[in-house]
Each structure stands twice: as structure tokens, then as C-alpha cells.
Amino acid sequence: MSSNKKHHMSNDMRELIIKLHKEKKSLRQIAKIVGKTHSTVQSVVKKFEMTGSVNTLPRSGRPKILNSRDRRNIIRKVNENPRISAPKLAVDVELEIGKIVHPENIRRILRKSGLNGRIPRKKPFISLENRRKRLEFAKKYGNEDEQFWNKVLFTDESKFNIFGPDSRGKIWRKKNTELEEKNLIPTVKHGGGCVMVWGSMAAAGVGSLVFIQPKMDRWVYLDIIKSNLKSDAAKLKLGNNWIFQQDQDPKHTAHVVKSWLLYNVPKQLHSPPQSPDLNPIEHVWDYLDRHRIRKHRITNVNMLKNILLEEWNKIPPSYTEKLVSSMNRRLKACVNAKGCKNKILNIF
């Protein structure tokens, strides 16, 4: 018998309690005579006064299979391992305490405690050295005004799959815990795919979208920026004192690239490594993938390219302006997190 299950009281005992009650004995006297607690005697008397009977009334619904200790044990297992599935938890319960529980019962217990199945966020692993670089960057540019960020041409590369992003399993987590280490899937950028692109944007709108074939190296990258940077800066009316932003990918910091930039770009802004949260164009890639191109039924690479270009050119300046205006908040969040991962601002 479970340790927290109530002991059954016989009808004879209840009748004795009522008999003593009718004899005008106090509840404490009755409790002492029958060897029960004051609250137990009080409950029997109260029920008799309400129903006129000492018989146990039929219970509504089926008794719970799992007691409070069992439920706490399930929640503890999930907190230790968020990737454990409900069927696996059901098997563990049966092996440990011999109770057969349906996985859906497990899910109800977890949801009731605030744990919900969610797809884990993918975040790059950030080394201690890169945390330091992120923090230095955030502190250096955290006080720049809107006029500064409006002159920046943000650039980046991204990957798009024909059939959407790779599938990801769910985890159990509580609200606002998506960035805890146990709830993340470490990733490296560009782990394969169907179409690679380079793009640019500023507060005034989007610039060029360039398809990369067959793969990106320093020479391909140099050709892209030679062909697009100045024209994009002019198209977006960034003025003569515009700022070119790029991350510190080895292709971007190659000697031939540095040499060309030195003589052709007024100012440069180098984002620290592993910092998608500090580059607003990352939001544009996500917006394109999840909200725009997935509305289409895409069956081949050429169709994907055409739709990407079509949707890219539909991105309104009001959207990019909103993204760029978030830079100070992004940098402040990075400082508050001491260079660690932080929640990318929800500004869609």
C-alpha cells in the first residue's frame, strides 16, 4: 500500500463515533475513546450531519494511478534530462514502481507542472575566448546612436534547403528556459544544404542577394564584395561615410580581402565570432525561411532560387529599419549576459 494512501475506516467505527456524538460527548473525548485524531472524528460527524449516513459515498472518477511522490520523481527525471520522451518515462515508472501508465498521462503531469514539449533552439557553442570578444564588442558599440547604425551595411551568408530546415526532436522545458545549456542543440554554421546565398541589408532596406556556386572561398567572396558593396551602399543611400559589417569568418579576413577593403571601404565593423544575435540580417534569413519561402511548394533548386529572389525583394524597409533599431538592445543583452548566449529579441 502506498505510504500516503488513507487507511480505510470501518462502518462500525463510524457508527460508534456517531453514537458517542449523540451522547453529547465532545469531539476530543470521542477521539480519545476511539483512538482517532480530532480532525478524523470531526470529518465523520460533519459527513453524518450532511448526509444522514456513515456509509462511504461513491467516488467520482477513477483514483489516480500515480501519487505525489511518483509525479515528483517524473518531473525530477525531466529536469535532469529534458530530452527523455514520455514513452521512455512510462517504461521507467513501470520498472521502478510496477505501475503501468500511459505516456499521455506522463505528458499531462509534465504540462501541469509547466513543462511543455518544445523544439530546442539551435545555438553555436561559444568558447570562453569568444565570450570575451563578444563582451568587448558589445561594450565598445553599446552607446552608439541610431545615426551610427543607420549607416551600417550588414552582410552575411546563409543556407536554404529545398524541403525546409532539418527536423528536430522536441524537449520538455519550462517557459523562458530555451537558452539553458541542457535545452540547446550545439551547431556549426552551414552544415550542408541546397542553396547558399550572400546578402546585404541596412536600415533603409535590403541590398543584393547573391547565389554562391559551387562553394565559398576567399576568391569567390572577394568577387562578391567587389561586385556588390559599393552599389548596395549607393542603392540604400548610406552616404560617403558608410560602414561595412562582416563577421570574422576566415574567408572574410583573408589577406586579399583585407587589402581590397582597406582601399575601397570607408569604415569597417567586424562582428565577433559566433554572434548571430549581434547581426540583424540573421533575422532576415529566418524570416525568409519560416515566413516567406515555406508558403510555396518548392521542388527543385531553380524554383528555390526564384522564390528566394522574389521574396527577398518584397522585404519592406520598415522591417529592416525595425531590425537595425534593435542593435542597442542586442548589445545591452550581450553585456547583461556577460558575453554568453542571450535571447535574440522577438521583434518580428
Q: Is residue 2 part of a domain?
A: no
Close Cβ partners of 30 (under 8 Å, ≥ 6 residues apart): 17, 20, 21, 36, 41
Q: Let me know if 166 is exposed, middle or buried by CB neighbors in 10 A (0-12, 13-18, 19+).
A: exposed
CA-CA distance, 77 to 148, in Å (whole number)?
Answer: 49
Q: What is the pLDDT of residue 334?
A: 92
Strand-pairing partners, residue 171, are 118
Confidence at residue 3, expressed as pLDDT on a 0 to 100 scale? 42
Q: Are residues 275 and 161 in the same domain?
A: yes
Torsion, Cα 101 104 108 111, to 10 degrees, reads 130
Residue 60 placed within a domain: no
Q: What is the pLDDT at residue 180?
A: 79
| Same domain? 293 vs 198 | yes
In a domain, 61, yes or no: no
- The burial of 24, by beta-carbon neighbours within 10 Å (0-12 exposed, 13-18 middle, 19 or more buried), is given as exposed
- From the number of C-beta atoms within 10 Å of its C-beta (0-12, 13-18, 19+), residue 163 rates as exposed
| Window from 96-100, 225-229, 249-253, 301-305 with minimum mean pLDDT | 96-100
pTM of the predicted model as reported, rounded to 2 decimal places: 0.60
Distances (CA, A) of 244 to 59, 173, 327: 72, 39, 15
Residue 61: pLDDT band (50, 70, 90) is: low
Q: What is the pLDDT of residue 308?
A: 95
Q: Which domain holds residue 108?
A: 68-114
Instruction: Evaluate if residue 344 carries a pLDDT over 70.
Output: no
Q: Taking each helix axis from N to C terminus, what angle separates 68-80 and 103-112, rounded to the nearest 10 degrees?
A: 80
Mind listing the pLDDT tens digit for each residue in 184-200? 755 434 443 479 999 99
Rounded to 10 deg, the angle between the 86-97 and 68-80 helix axes is 130
Same domain (yes/no): 107, 129: no
Residue 1 lies in a domain: no
| Cβ 222 vs Cβ 256: under 8 Å | yes
Residue 58 above 70 pLDDT?
no
Same domain for 110 and 197: no
Is 90 exceeded by the pLDDT of residue 202? Answer: yes
Q: What is the average pLDDT across 53-59?
A: 71
Query: Same domain, yes or no, for 152 and 279?
Result: yes
Q: Is the pLDDT of residue 208 over 50?
A: yes
Phi, psi of 309 (to 5 degrees): -65, -45
**Domain membership flag for residue 86:** yes
**Residue 276 backbone dihedrals phi, psi, to 5 degrees:** -65, -25
Task: Judge if 140 and 164 occupy the same domain.
Answer: yes
- Mean pLDDT within 267-278: 91
Query: Across residues 158-183, what is the average pLDDT?
Result: 72
**Calpha distance 324→146 (Å, rounded):** 8
Calpha distance 195→308 (Å, rounded) = 10
- 46/173 same-domain check: no
Q: Which of 312, 304, 305, 244 is nearest to 284 (CA)?
A: 312
pLDDT band, very low/low/confident/very high, at 227 (cuts 50, 70, 90): very high
34 and 15 housed in the same domain? yes
Which one has a higher pLDDT value, 121 or 284? 284
pLDDT at residue 207 is higher than 50:
yes
Peptide linkage before 214 cis (omega within 30 of 0)? yes
To the nearest whole percent, how much of the chain has pLDDT over 70? 87
On whether residue 250 sits in a domain, the answer given is yes
Q: Is residue 281 part of a domain?
A: yes
Q: Total structural domains in the chain?
A: 3
Assess whether 274 and 171 both reside in one domain: yes
Query: Is residue 348 very low, low, confident or very high in pLDDT (cuts 50, 70, 90)?
Result: very low
Looking at residue 87, the DSSP 8-state letter turns out to be: H
264 and 196 belong to one structural domain? yes
Q: Is the pLDDT of residue 167 over 50?
A: no
Where b means 16+ CB within 10 Å and e means fewer, 194-206 reads ebbbbbbbbbbbb
Encode pLDDT of 113-147 as tens digits: 999 888 777 665 678 898 999 999 999 999 999 99
Assess whether pLDDT exceeds 60 at residue 7. Answer: no
Residue type, 119: I
pLDDT score recorded for residue 299: 81
Residue 164 has pLDDT above 80, yes or no: no
Judge if 15 and 161 occupy the same domain.
no
Q: Is 286 a member of any domain?
A: yes
pLDDT on residue 60: 62
Do both 141 and 75 map to the same domain?
Answer: no
Percent of the chain whose predicted confidence (pLDDT) is above 90: 47
DSSP state of 121: P
Q: Give the per-residue pLDDT at 184.
A: 72
For the cut 80, the answer to whether the pLDDT of residue 72 exceeds it is yes
Give CB contacts under 8 A, 24+ apart, made by 289-296: 289/160, 289/164, 289/165, 291/348, 293/160, 294/164
